[in-house]
Amino acid sequence: MNVQTPESGYHYNVMRRAIDLIDQGGEALSLEELAKQMDMSPAHFQRLFSRWTGVSPKRYQQYLTLGHAKALLRERFTTLETALNVGLSGSGRLHDLFLKWESMSPGEYARRGAGLTIYWGWFECPFGPALVMGTDKGICGMAFGAESGEENAMADMLSRWPNANFVEDPMRLRPWALSAFGAVSDRLEPTPLYLIGSPLQIKVWEALMHIPSGQVTTYSEIAQRVGSPQAVRAVGTAVGRNPVSWLIPCHRALRKSGGLGGYHWGLPVKRAMLAYEAAQADA
């Protein structure tokens, strides 16, 4: 089932291939050379990129380079204190996608999903196949199968709440999935999240949701924000265990060096997400 167009997955595959070619050819690879290696005209590649992001970007292959993360850290680093202070006047993730969320109590979390019904379905999105999971209260899981494989992504998510009852029901989740990936409609409600995690994980995930779209922060900055400046490793683990990728934007967390760090669903997906948001921010 598609939440955008039937070509959404195709567009991700094109960008994934472009990333590989840029890595092999170096960051000086021109748009013309890149398009030629992809058996496309430069104009056709530009059209595909524009259809993928929904905007006509000012720079094309630069968004996909490995050095793009370092440029983001240099030019668009945000402290979480600043992000929180900007609030409703800013263009943060909370306001872009109109999110609301609540978290499970520690006692409920300890039961590992017992007594909980979780609905699931696969959807096409700008980053390939997306597995969306949700309870009656909101989306509790989002995974991406383009790099890890759909079976592995499914097994990973099922293991997080082993005592829950899982029911396939994509139509039930479709309005939330549409909203999650930026569909605009007067009939769509806010995207609700139901966060299932430990107290530290919840604090880290809430901090991530305050990083504006098109900007990035560091793991150490997140640790500082949640009151655990010496626990960068534990915070990094909590970032990596984020169950609702994209909506809780763990892809915006980088190393201080500008390195990408890790990404649970594959670094090419993280790079694609950063490129997608940067192109929209620059439009």
**Active-site residue list:** 250
CA 104 to chain centre: 22
Q: Compute CA distances 195 → 77, 81, 182, whole Å.
A: 26, 22, 20
Q: How many alpha carbons lie under 13 Å from residue 104 in its C-beta half-sphere? A: 24
Beta bridge partners of 2: 124
Q: Provide the pairing of β-strand 165-168 with 138-144.
A: unpaired
Q: Return the number of other C-beta atoms located less than 10 Å from residue 234's C-beta.
A: 15
Quote the CA–CA distance of 2 and 126 in Å, as a whole number: 10
DSSP labels, 186-208: TTPPPEEEEE-S-HHHHHHHHHH
Q: Provide the pairing of β-strand 117-125 with 128-135.
A: antiparallel
Dig out the tokens for 114 from the structure. Answer: 């017992």
Quote the CA–CA distance of 244 and 99 in Å, as a whole number: 12
Beta bridge partners of 125: 128
Q: Return the number of other C-beta atoms located less than 10 Å from residue 168's C-beta.
A: 10
